[in-house]
Amino acid sequence: MNSAAEILVPGKAGEGEALVLTAPISFWGGVDPKTGRIADVRHPQHGEVIAGRVLFLPGTIGSSSASAVLMELVHNGRAPTALVLHEPDAILLLGLIVAREMGWETPIATRLERGAFDAYRGGAVSVGADGAITAAV
């Protein structure tokens, strides 16, 4: 499986085990900024850790502090290795934009239609600096 994705925020190419969220998430209150663990007890992927994974996000909800949580994950080395979003989320991705301004290394964020997420579930995935998303065979 190979998809050419649109780059939302440029960053370091990344690879890791795919974590495909099945429901939108609020980063603030939903993800622990210290560990990257999904803390929202009502979220279907509660308990999973986003650090080091290629994170597929069908959508985001809730607090306007999502950017702060994502930047803190970057600063703590607990960010996903790449982010794949169904649509650009200006609040969340601001965390990457500001981290870049601060001179910190950030993961790439790309866009992919959420209907294509399932093909990557459970396997290793790499996201190239050109935004291409490739499932390892």
Q: Which residues have a catalytic role annotated?
A: 63
Residues 40-69 that bind another protein (CB under 8 A): 40-42, 59-69
d(CA 107, CA 119): 21
Closest to another protein by CB, 63 vs 134, is 63
Residues 67-106 that bind another protein (CB under 8 A): 67-69, 71-72, 74-76, 88, 90-95, 97-99, 101-102
Contact 22, 29 (CB under 8 A): no
d(CA 103, CA 4): 27
d(CA 101, CA 105): 10
Min separation Cβ 104 and another protein, Å: 8
**Pairing state between β 108-111 and 82-85:** parallel
Check residue 120 for interaction with another protein (CB under 8 A): no
Check residue 124 for interaction with another protein (CB under 8 A): no
Q: What Rg, from alpha-carbon coordinates, does the chain have?
A: 13
Mapped onto helix, strand or coil, the DSSP state of residue 66 is helix
Site size toward another protein (CB under 8 A) is: 41
Question: Which stretches of the chain bind another protein, using CB under 8 A?
Answer: 8-9, 24, 26, 28-30, 33-34, 39-42, 59-69, 71-72, 74-76, 88, 90-95, 97-99, 101-102
